[in-house]
Structure 1
Amino acid sequence: MSDMITADLVDLDLSAETKEAAARSLAERMVAQGRVTDLEGFLADVAAREAQMPTGLDGGIGIPHCRSAHVTEPTLAFGRSAAGIDFGAADGPADLIFLIAAPAGADDAHLTILSSLARQLMNADFTSALRSVRDAGAAAALIRGDETPGEDAQGAQGASESASGASGSPSGASDGAKAAASATEDTVVASGAASSDATAADTTSAPAAGATAGSGERPFRIVAVTSCPTGIAHTYMAAESLENAGREAGVEVVVETQGSAGFTRLDPAVIAAADGVIFAHDVPVRDKDRFAGKPTVDVGVKAGINRPAELIAEVRGRAERGEVTAGSAPGTPVERAGESGEGYGTKLRKWLMSGVSYMVPFVAAGGLLIALGFALGGYEINKAPSVMEHFVWTQADSWAALLFQIGVVSFGFLVPVLAGYIAYGMADRPGLVPGFVGGAISVTINAGFLGGLAAGLIAGGVVMAIQKVNIPVALRGIMPVVVIPLVSSAIVGFLMFVVIGKPIAEVQKALTDGLNGLTGTNAVLLGALLGLMMCFDLGGPVNKVAYTFATAGIAVATPSDSAMKIMAAVMAAGMVPPLAMALATTVRGKLFTQTERENGKAAWVLGASFISEGAIPFAAADPLRVIPSSMVGGAVTGALSMAFGATLRAPHGGIFVVPLIGNAFLYLVAIAAGVCVTTALVVVLKGLRKPAVGTTAPGTGSGAAATAAERKQPVAA
């Protein structure tokens, strides 16, 4: 860690009162040393990581950290606060603050060294020494491992000189530091009587060695997996905590740390011999099915740090009772893509979005093919005979009919794919068959898009219920291939045909009739509402609801005029945010950071292509100004598009499908109006913002941080 922290990156009198101010103060030191290129961009990345989960730890420790494109090299800054700063720990404020900055592409060796700090923080002697040290150089040396916690703190000046001499020489680290780095291998074993100086490599090769010296009884064996969103700190701290608790309890604990530097899978023999499993994680456990069939405790990573003894006792109790929990089974696609502890509301949203995400490519392909068919052959092409019966290679109408008929077939998959992949998101591959069957039935009985939603949820729920039944071992092999598809399809088919299909079809018909009857003020208000939704979360769930609502209306061979107006309004509004951000960075570049100005260049193309996500970098950096401004502009565009009577048969394409748009000129006027409104609001709101004291206003190149960087001196806290 010799080149990651120096005395200039240490503040033993950190005066910040909030975690944001503490991060800014320490980050300014990194900027002054040339290790962070964009202060505001880096702090936004730190805040985004903090929003995922507080980084405060019991014992008075705060460890904000992130990987960021604004970091030039792995860097660690340390601050000590006399008053304490709230980082969200259960036991109160933190007085030891570590800010870890890793480049977006940090190499494995540096991340491994960073993880060694996390393990040191579990050592009470180490944290006690940091609280008593009186010199910044000595603190840096202690963190690097040049000085051990047991050395006399009176030699602070000598330690400082030693630190400066060793800062460029990794070989100057003590044997203890080398052992700490070695202990960060991705697979670590802690045995009941194993020597504390043993490295991970030594114990991995013989996990049970010395565990029961002098005892003939086999020890209880636990395998564990730890992981956190960044994979730098909490991952390794939880591993160290579990290992220490295992030693105290006389239990063998083998930990697989799934960190940023990758991970080494536990030996299958070690997993097979384990009596229980502990998952301490905040991101999905990779290859979770390896641990199936064992008593399992599944908690967040902070539980692994704060109460490891309780977790070990809990998994031992479950093993004694013969409990094999669902937590040891493979996760569903939604669980593998989500975070630990998500509620049913969040899961429901992700299940629905799973279906929508698989459906959208069918919408785009089918819709564009149909639109091209109309463009080549006119709106009467839907009455052309099948190309199987009549196709002339030299006639444009034949090619138009071919494109149209391929598009219609593609559209025919929309509802089955939607239902099938909702069920897939809930129950994995066993949900596909009943989901597709239920979706196809929805098409058959004219229950449409709503029927597909219901069929997917029912299919997933039925499969999940079947999977919870305790099946004899002899029958488990045929369950996913025969039993689950048979039983679930029969149940879903019965419910869709006999019980809920007809009511849903009636609701679908009422909605369709209502849309067809929209005129005047009602149509304009609907356009404004859809514009607001498209710009609310820029490609997120609300955006997708509006988009799916529009595409469902045109997912037929002959959509109504109202449905095509809705599709036009939705696409127009979705183009506004990225185009507006691109224009704003062009006309008032000084209000934006250099990174944002670069993103603005790409936003021109993304916005023109109807990719609302092009505005996400701007919204993430300044949501309170960008999102409301985008929503106002989107509402203006949606309302104008409906008022102008613009129609669109294609579900995607942006300006590249303008020839397929009805009233194309007025449609472009509506988009331009929304872009101008959003740009004006963003410029005004950002212009009213006052830069914080001691920071650099975006684009000005002045301020305390920039001045300090020029002098290569740390900014005063």
Structure 2
Amino acid sequence: KILNTTQCSQKPGTSVRCSSLIDPELVEKLKAAKTPEEVIDLFEKAETKKDEEDKKAAEAKKAKEAAKAQGGSDDDNKPLIVGVTACINGIAHTYMAQEALIKEGKKRGIEVRIETNGSEGVKDKLTPDEIKRAKGVIIASDKKVDMPRFDRKHLVNRPVVDGINKSGLWAGIYKNLMNGISHMLPFVIGGGILMAVSFIVENYMGGPKTPAFVFLNNAGNLAFAFMVPVLAAYIAESIGDLPALMPGFVGGYMAAIVNGQFQVNVQAHTTSPAGFLGGIAAGFIAGYLMVGLKKLFAKLPHSVEGMKPMLFYPILGLLLIAAIMFYIINPIFSGINFAITHFLNGMGTGNLVLLTTILAGMMSIDMGGPFNKAAYVFASGAFANDPHSATAAILMAAVMVGGMVPPFATAIGTTFFKNKYTLEERRAGVSNWVLGFSFITEGAIPFAAADPGRVIPSCIIGSAVGGALVGLWHVGVPAPHGGLWVSPLAGNIGGPSHILFYFLATIIGSVVAGLVMSFWKKNVKDDPNE
């Protein structure tokens, strides 16, 4: 239960939701709690109270709809704002943003209804009547949202990540890319970890002919085979809506295979796939192709409107993306992909240390934002191109160490330098031991938000140190996620076990960040709430 509370799990049967953590009344009671049992009891009561409030709200909504149907009065004259919240992982930020918007609405005397697009799918779905009555719409999302239903409404559209609020064109590109990555991640994580476990079986339980190894490795490889096609498909769908999904998927599949496997007797033959980068290009090209086709057919007679999604878009979309990928993108990106792979595999220690230092440091710049995702995507892309590459495993280890440092650093600081942190921060720091162990960088966000000038630079320094040690010691982890839980895999590809060095790189980087941060911060006042 404590683990579920810490990770803000949304699974059925769990007794707490992340949104409870921003209830001031609950926070005050938690501060006064003396035992773990009291903490759990408080969360359970808060959840029960929230469920009762949701039930009453649902009943009130039904009663209002019934009254309206009978010609009675309702609260239609009261201002209503509707919105959608969604983050990449669909856990913490999605629900905390929903709760924060609703609370702010209450303060201003405005009714607020927020739909969430989280790890369990769409919750609190907005009705057509609510959208029709709404005075405005707030979208706080890093993923694709069903937007046509909000046509002709005043709209505020912001990603969950604050770092791209004022970035113009980049914001749209980032959101489209993140839509692809959010759908791709389950394939990367599930497939990558099963493959990693298969390597343990291979090394310690009988070799490559063991049935367990064959099964796990094949299952992991099957998931990986869908990674680039799914990435491209949902980038395209984010840009060109549902008609772009199929061309994006086919373009991504073509990027994942060698052109020679495409049985056409032409000279555009390549010897390596376009890979991850080619898949990204395929997604954007397919998406904008569909946008162009929609504009091209916009003035066709209304009588052929039904033929567009069923005939024109799929046939022309497939034809165009296949031609572009085969004759242009694959030949270009296969060369780029080969060059990058060759460069990474041929890196000397000096260049490798520089790269792992940069990647690990990027993980702490915005703790889940564009820089963090860029580093992770680069490492996971290299790993996807060649899961058996020792260098790719080292890059994965670097980004994981870099991502674990911020929560560990705040946990260290709040544990050993209590006079530098408020009571609320010290309580939050306890959960960051678990979040750090699990490679959940976002645990440090509250600290960074409260004191960005000290916390972020300190974490960047610590993450960079940890990343440098990973490159120096050639620590490889052939898994795309898992933090220290996957430490038994460290170094199992291309060399001896490096479990100890994996732990040391994480510990040293975290201690450096924790010390810099804590010595830099000023003592807090006696009243922890001031």
The answer, yes or no, to whether TM exceeds 0.5 is yes
The answer for the alignment partner of 2:289 in structure 1 is: 462
1:345 aligns with 2:170: yes
Q: Cα deviation per residue 1:466-519 (whole Å; 9 max; x = unaligned)?
A: 333424433333433443222212211111111232111111111111111211
The answer for the alignment partner of 1:504 in structure 2 is: 333
Find the structure with the greater CA-based Rg.
Answer: 1
**Contact 1:282/1:340 (<8 A) preserved:** no
1:529 aligns with 2:358: yes
Q: Cα deviation per residue 1:436-495 (whole Å; 9 max; x = unaligned)?
A: 100001112310011001000011111222333424433333433443222212211111
The answer for the alignment partner of 1:664 in structure 2 is: 499
Q: Distance in 1 between matches of 2:54 and 2:488?
A: 51
Q: Distance in 2 between matches of 1:646 and 1:291?
A: 49
The answer for the alignment partner of 2:73 in structure 1 is: 201
**Contact 1:531/1:634 (<8 A) preserved:** yes
1:626 aligns with 2:455: yes
Q: Cα deviation per residue 1:565-590 (whole Å; 9 max; x = unaligned)?
A: 21221212211111111111111223
The answer for the alignment partner of 1:368 in structure 2 is: 193
**Contact 1:535/1:634 (<8 A) preserved:** yes
The one-letter amino acid paired with 2:186 is: P
The one-letter amino acid paired with 1:533 is: M
SS in structure 1 of the partner of residue 439 of structure 2: coil
Query: Which of 515, 518, 525 is 1:683 aligned to?
Result: 518
The one-letter amino acid paired with 2:512 is: V
Matched positions, count: 429
Query: Which of 1, 5, 22 is 1:69 aligned to?
Result: 22
1:46-445 alignment runs, 5 A limit: 69=22, 71-72=24-25, 201=73, 226-227=81-82, 230=101, 258-259=112-113, 280-283=136-139, 289=148, 296=152, 298-299=153-154, 343-378=168-203, 384=209, 397-445=210-258
Pick closer, same or farther for the CA change 1:267–1:374 going to 2, 3 Å: closer
1:501-580 alignment runs, 5 A limit: 501-556=330-385, 559-580=388-409
Query: Which of 451, 458, 467 is 2:278 aligned to?
Result: 451
Pick closer, same or farther for the CA change 1:510–1:541 going to 2, 3 Å: same
1:673 aligns with 2:508: yes
Q: Distance in 1 between matches of 2:163 and 2:237?
A: 15
1:380: Cα distance to partner?
A: 12
Q: Distance in 1 between matches of 2:277 and 2:402?
A: 24
The answer for the alignment partner of 1:8 in structure 2 is: none
Pick closer, same or farther for the CA change 1:429–1:342 going to 2, 3 Å: farther
**Contact 2:293/2:313 (<8 A) preserved:** yes
The one-letter amino acid paired with 2:466 is: T
Structure 2 length as normaliser, TM-score? Answer: 0.70
**Contact 1:235/1:259 (<8 A) preserved:** no
Q: Distance in 1 between matches of 2:373 and 2:164?
A: 21
1:109: Cα distance to partner?
A: 13
The one-letter amino acid paired with 2:248 is: G
The one-letter amino acid paired with 1:560 is: S
Q: Cα deviation per residue 1:69-123 (whole Å; 9 max; x = unaligned)?
A: 35349xxxxxxxxxxxxxxxxxxxxxxxxxxxxxx96969999xxxxxxxxxxxx
**Contact 1:363/1:414 (<8 A) preserved:** yes
**Contact 1:283/1:338 (<8 A) preserved:** no
1:430: Cα distance to partner?
A: 2.2
Q: Cα deviation per residue 1:274-333 (whole Å; 9 max; x = unaligned)?
A: xxx9964443799864576xxx4x5457xxxxxxxxxxxxxxxxxxxxxxxxxxxxx9x9
Pick closer, same or farther for the CA change 1:284–1:648 going to 2, 3 Å: closer
Pick closer, same or farther for the CA change 1:472–1:548 going to 2, 3 Å: same
SS in structure 2 of the partner of residue 283 of structure 1: strand
1:701 aligns with 2:527: yes
Pick closer, same or farther for the CA change 1:339–1:547 going to 2, 3 Å: closer
In structure 2, list runs of 5 or more residues that go unmatched: 1-19, 27-48, 58-63, 84-99, 116-123, 259-272, 492-497
The one-letter amino acid paired with 2:527 is: G
Q: Distance in 1 between matches of 2:188 and 2:128?
A: 43
Moved beyond 4 Å, runs of 4+: 104-111, 224-229, 231-239, 257-268, 284-292, 337-342, 379-384
**Contact 2:420/2:518 (<8 A) preserved:** yes
1:608: Cα distance to partner?
A: 0.8
Pick closer, same or farther for the CA change 1:639–1:489 going to 2, 3 Å: same
The one-letter amino acid paired with 1:701 is: D
Aligned CA-pair RMSD: 4.3
**Contact 2:159/2:175 (<8 A) preserved:** yes
1:479 aligns with 2:308: yes
The answer for the alignment partner of 1:130 in structure 2 is: none
Q: Distance in 1 between matches of 2:508 and 2:113?
A: 48
**Contact 1:568/1:648 (<8 A) preserved:** yes
Q: Distance in 1 between matches of 2:471 and 2:380?
A: 16
More helix by percentage: 2
Pick closer, same or farther for the CA change 1:289–1:562 going to 2, 3 Å: closer
In structure 1, list runs of 5 or more residues that go unmatched: 1-66, 74-103, 112-184, 190-198, 208-223, 240-256, 272-276, 302-330, 385-396, 692-696, 707-717
The one-letter amino acid paired with 2:172 is: K
1:407: Cα distance to partner?
A: 1.0
Q: Distance in 2 between matches of 1:489 and 1:379?
A: 46
